[in-house]
Amino acid sequence: MRVFSKLVLILVLLIALGFVAREIRKAKTAKLSTHLRSDENIKVLILGDSHAVAGIDPDYIPDSANWAQVGEELEYSYYKLVHATRAHAPKELILSCSYFNFLAPNDTEWEMQRRYHPLLDKEFYQAKSAFREMDASIRYHYLKDILMPAYLPIGILNDVALLYGSPSFIGAYDRRRGTAIGDIRSLHKAVSRHYYDGNGLREISALRVYFFDKIISHCQAHDIRLWVVNTPLHPEYTLSVPPQISRPYYEIIKDRHEHFRFLDHSSMSLPNEMFFDYDHLNHHGAQLLSELIAADLQTDHLLP
């Protein structure tokens, strides 16, 4: 009986802790959603991962906003696009999409859920399940959505853990300075993280291709012109991209390319001083790329 009463006490304390954590998260999310409703006039929306964060400066593209976020994957870009369309009705979407953006997740789901969970819907979880990419952290959030009304205290420590770190799903252009070209370890780290996991080469994710198609369909349905950009990469990085990855990447793009403008700047010859590291531009490189994109938007001219 003594054990039981102690357990009940612990339970009550834990539930209270979980409740407080959830309320704090809710408040944080509410603050975030004001970003989506801002009065800014966004005609050109920039989405994608760190390649867009570091490489596309909205100052050079009129009426644009860079909402790209580090590590953002295509499925999450899709949901951001859906919410951005409701709030701002953009006319152009610039989406960064590099060789690894179609690959299966690599230990990032917890972070992604921390950021994007407020934007997601039931279809997201169903797709994750259908494509067998439902990991424990995604399942937790899905369960929580179902159980939230009943407030069953399942996995409440996760809510406490989720309080740490930035939950921002809206990113921004990051003016990066200097260059790390020459630090060969950073090249190896990036290539390893982007293309390999514990079992060797990462595989193409059918789910990511599915959400890429959904981005295309959404743009068509809402009369948004889509620009897919493969941002400039250092030649040493490009050489390290496994052909087993780059080949299907170009096949996916080729199969759909009549629906969007594809700006393949990955092999653009740039001096080292324009790279922040082997796969990101610094502010000099970003200026050049942004001016090129702005010119393309103006002329609607497809680069070779």
Partner 1 sequence: MIALEYFGILIAGLALYWAIPHNRLRLSVLSALSLLFIWLLDPMSALVVIGLSGYTFIFGGIIHRHRDKPGWHTAAVLGILLLLVFFKYLGMLSGISDAFYLFLENLPNFSLHRLFLPLGISYITFKHISYLTDIKWGMISPGRFDDFLLYSSFFTIYLAGPIERYERFAPQLETAAKPIRQDWHEGSRRIAIGLFKKLVIADWLAYFLAPIWKSPEAYSAWQALAALFAYAFVIYYDFAGYSDIAIGASRLFGIRIMENFDRPYLAGNISQFWRRWHISLSDWIRDYLFFPLSRLSKRKVWNIFWVPVIAMALCGLWHGADSRYLVWGIWHGLGLSALQIYLQLKRKAAAGSKKRLNSLLKWIGMPTTLFFVFFGWLSFRAFGLALALRIFGDPQALTLIPVIFILLIFLQDTLQKSSVLLAKLSWRLEYTIYTLILTMILYSAVHSDFIYAGF
Instruction: Return the residue matching tokens 């509410």.
Output: 30
Which residues fall within 8 angstroms of residue 256, CB to CB, at 6 or more apart?
212, 213, 216
The residue type found at 113 is Q
For residue 196, the cross-strand partners are 201
CB of 227 to partner 1, least distance (A): 29
Provide, for the chain, the percentages of residues in helix, strand and coil under a 3-state DSSP scheme, each rounded to the nearest 5. 60, 10, 30
148 CB burial (10 A radius; 0-12, 13-18, 19+):
exposed
Closest CA to 102 of 125, 62, 131: 131
Asked if 120 and 246 touch (Cβ cutoff 8 Å), the reply is: no
Among 156, 215, 233, 294, binds partner 1 (CB under 8 A): 156
**Based on CB atoms, which residue is closest to partner 1, 136 or 302?**
136
149 binds partner 1 (CB under 8 A): no
**Based on CB atoms, which residue is closest to partner 1, 147 or 302?**
147
Distance CA 279, CA 275 (A): 7
CB of 141 to partner 1, least distance (A): 8
The number of CA neighbours under 13 Å toward the Cβ of 216 is 18
Q: Could you tell me which stretch among 73-81, 119-127, 239-247, 285-293 binds partner 1 (CB under 8 A)?
A: 239-247
Among 19, 118, 242, 246, binds partner 1 (CB under 8 A): 242
Among 184, 200, 257, 271, binds partner 1 (CB under 8 A): 200
125 binds partner 1 (CB under 8 A): no
Instruction: Return the residue matching tokens 């531009």.
Output: 281
What values do phi and psi take at 100, rounded to 5? -90, 0
Neighbours of 14 (CB within 10 A): 14
CB of 59 to partner 1, least distance (A): 32
Helix axis angle, 2-36 to 74-88, nearest 10°: 60
**Based on CB atoms, which residue is closest to partner 1, 129 or 287?**
129
Among 4, 5, 39, 301, binds partner 1 (CB under 8 A): 4
The number of CA neighbours under 13 Å toward the Cβ of 114 is 16
Among 182, 243, 258, 300, binds partner 1 (CB under 8 A): 243
130 binds partner 1 (CB under 8 A): no
Asked if 50 and 71 touch (Cβ cutoff 8 Å), the reply is: yes
153 binds partner 1 (CB under 8 A): yes
CB of 152 to partner 1, least distance (A): 9
Among 5, 199, 269, 299, binds partner 1 (CB under 8 A): 199
Distance CA 162, CA 144 (A): 13
Question: Mask 81-110, x = binds partner 1 (CB under 8 A)?
Answer: --------------------------x--x
11 binds partner 1 (CB under 8 A): yes
**Based on CB atoms, which residue is closest to partner 1, 34 or 199?**
199
**Based on CB atoms, which residue is closest to partner 1, 156 or 297?**
156
Among 130, 136, 146, 303, binds partner 1 (CB under 8 A): 136
Residues that bind partner 1 (CB under 8 A): 3-4, 7, 10-11, 14-15, 18, 107, 110, 135-137, 139-141, 153-158, 161, 198-201, 203, 242-244, 247
